[in-house]
Structure 1
Amino acid sequence: MPDVRGRVRGPVIAAGVLLLLAFVLLPPARAAPPRDTETGETGRIGGIDRTGGIDGTGGSAEPAPAVSGAVPTPETAAGELAESIATYDVVLALGTDGVLRVRETITYDFDETGGHGIVRHVPFRRGDRLYEVRDIRTSSSTGAPSRVKTMRLLNDVQISVGGRQREVRGRQAYVIEYEVARAFTPRADHDALVWDAIGTSWDVPIRNAAVRVEAPVPLRHVTCDAGTRGATTRCLRDRDGPYAVDFIQRTLAPREGMKIRVRLPKRAIAVQPPLYVPPRWAGGWPGTALLALSLGMVALLPRRPAPRRRAGPVLAAAGALLVAADAGDEVAAHGLWAFSMGDRCLAGLALMIVGAGVVCVHRFRAV
């Protein structure tokens, strides 16, 4: 299949350059001096001199008094410090079909203000690597509402468990089950799995966490690190078995996780090939240069006669078409989450920025 995108990229970027140059060469509109509607004098509006003075005296107006008020910080908000996760138990079952099956049991302590449930963020994209998060199920052993709603947000699948109609307080237990396909990475002499068992998106501390790794073959190379990126410590290895290993960790601070690393022998399980997509920023030097050029043009707009008024909407519309063209093929093929900013998108953003700058300059000068 011919690379249509590669063939049109050059002409599209060239068109963007020509449009920006045309903007620079457009004959500017002549700006009439401001006229006061009360006195008919130019250079003054409403008795205020354009030079910054009031009534032509050259003085300056007194600044408005600052508004002060105490704003509560998250640390001082009522009851927030009491909210925490009492226990977080995870079972990672490595299937022979290469699918990671996860069961999370979360015992959550709500404060006196209560809540409507919990939100778990499971990654489906890390860099240019994609994971397939599917078959999500939830329940509650304490009778709390366990209706599940999922949403793909940025790089994570947001799993909301609870109900907006009913508020819960005290200690509640939730169970979240899901599958992750394409989580293993094939290597030359082994197959590897790297997975954060509890994630790093929790805003509350976790008092006790436990992760159990189960496999269909003996586990000889399994490790666990707890903490944040760049500041980790080895988890305590609780129990070892030929086909299961348990790790425990106490007193995890907010945003701290437990990263599990597993190495399996080749052909021990059927590993699906990883799925990759272009990174979010996929533009080269032409698109980046156009974007930088547009920002420089916008900075110079207030210091020079503005181009014609119609140039702004025309440039903005042309830029929007370029962005839509760049996003269309990726979104149609892989969904909204696969969109990356290529050269066409950057050129479109450049045109939209310059167009919006022209429109804003005309509006401000019309005031």
Structure 2
Amino acid sequence: MKKLILLLVFILVPVSVQAEVIRSFVSDITLESDGSFSVSETIVYDFEDEDRHGIFRFIPTTHWQESEELFKERYLEINNLSVSVDGEEAMFVLSEDMGELGVKIGDPDATISGEHTYLIKYTVQGGLIYYDEGGVDLYWNATGNGWEVPIESALVRVYDPEGIALQEHHCYFGPAGSTEECPSVLGKGAY
């Protein structure tokens, strides 16, 4: 009987965690002529009735890229990080682990509930890949893989004001490594 009770408790815990949800995740990416790109993420996070201190955002800092010698690991540098919640500057703590920059956002002495809008801005160095033939690739995991709650809606916009001119665009969604394509539109000045 102990095993059955333990199993039921284990099954019920994730259901309470799933009460929280990301209503929308919008990532605006602007390509820069120095090979970097700036990112502005607007995350509408609904804690519903749960009292929480804030959220964790895990930003990828490594990328496995195909090369002539199987795969090579590219390292990305994250700079100029700023965070606000509901339009007010927010407290955050950084940590690095296993190819990700962890951003713990919130006040450890206060809790919040309901819906809140997080604005996270940063610059990524090393994310654009230039080829000898003249092509440029941008590989970016816009939402990251560290979320334990569902994302109802995600939108990524890539701006190219410097005319770097990405030749093609592809969008994939799902777990890391997914080849499931998502809708994408090529527009003037944005992808």
TM-score normalised to structure 1 length: 0.45
Alignment partner of 1:243 is 2:179: no
> 2:172 touches 2:178 (CA, 8 Å); kept in 1?
no
Q: Which AA in structure 2 matches 1:135? A: N
- Cα distance change, pair 187–149 in 1 and its aligned pair in 2 (3 A): same
What is the Cα deviation at residue 232 of structure 1? 3.1
Cα distance in structure 2, aligned partners of 1:94 and 1:123: 17
Shift of 1:67: 6.5
Structure ID, larger Rg: 1
- What's the CA shift string for 1:198-248, capped at 9, x where partnerless? 1111111100110000012145411111112454322112x5322102xxx
Q: Higher helix share goes to which structure? A: 1
Residues 154-198 of structure 1, C-alpha deviations (whole Å, 9 max, x = no match): 221101111111101011110100111011222221122211111
Specify the SS of the correspondent of 2:154.
strand
Q: Distance in 2 between matches of 1:200 and 1:96?
A: 28
Match 1:123 to one of 49, 53, 60: 60
Aligned to 1:234: 181
Q: Which residue of 2 aligns with 1:11?
A: none
- Verify the 8 A CA contact 1:142 1:172 in the aligned structure 2: no
* Aligned-residue identity in percent: 27
Q: 1 or 2 for the larger relative contact order (CA 8 Å, sep ≥6)?
A: 2
TM-score, normalised relative to structure 2: 0.83
- Per the alignment, residue 204 of structure 1 pairs with 149
- Deviation string 1:112-154 (CA, Å, 9 cap, x unpaired) is 22211111111223453211111110002265x7211111122
Q: Deviation of residue 68 (structure 1)? A: 5.5
Aligned partner letter, 1:166:
A
TM alignment of 1:267-282, pairs within 5 A? none
Q: Tell me the SS of whatever aligns to 1:221.
A: coil
Q: Secondary structure of the equivalent of 2:12?
A: coil
Correspondence 1:194 to 2:135: no
SS in 1 for 2:139: strand
The RMSD of aligned alpha carbons is 2.2
Would you say 1:104 and 2:51 are equivalent positions? no
Matched, 1:70 2:5: yes
- 2:49 is paired with a residue whose SS is coil
Q: Distance in 2 between matches of 1:212 and 1:126?
A: 20
CA contact (8 A) 1:80 1:111 kept: no
Number of corresponding residues? 177
Q: For residues 295-314 of structure 1, give each alpha carbon's deviation from its aligned partner in whole angstroms, at most 9, with x where no partner exists.
A: xxxxxxxxxxxxxxxxxxxx
| Structure with the largest fraction of strand | 2
Once the two structures are superposed, residues 340-365 of structure 1 have per-residue CA deviations (whole angstroms, 9 ceiling, x without a partner) of xxxxxxxxxxxxxxxxxxxxxxxxxx
> CA–CA distance in 2 between the matches of 1:157 and 1:221?
28
Distance of aligned partners of 1:229 and 1:141 in 2 relative to their CA distance in 1, 3 Å threshold: closer
Q: Does 1:160 align with 2:104?
A: yes
Distance 2:97 2:177 in 1: 25
Whole-Å Cα distance in 2 between the matches of residues 229 and 178 of structure 1?
22
Alpha-carbon distance in 2 for matches of 1:103, 1:160: 17
* 3-state SS in 2 of match to 1:76: helix
Aligned with residue 147 of structure 1, among 57, 77, 91 = 91
Partner Cα distance (1:198, 1:68) in 2: 37
Q: How does 1:8-157 map to 2 (within 5 A)?
A: 70-71=5-6, 72-73=9-10, 75-77=11-13, 79-126=16-63, 128-141=73-86, 146-157=90-101
SS of the equivalent of 1:70 reads helix
The answer as to whether partners of 2:172 and 2:180 remain within 8 angstroms in 1 is yes
Which residue identity is paired with 2:32? G
Residue 233 of structure 1: SS of its match in structure 2? Answer: coil
> Residue type of the partner of 2:132?
A
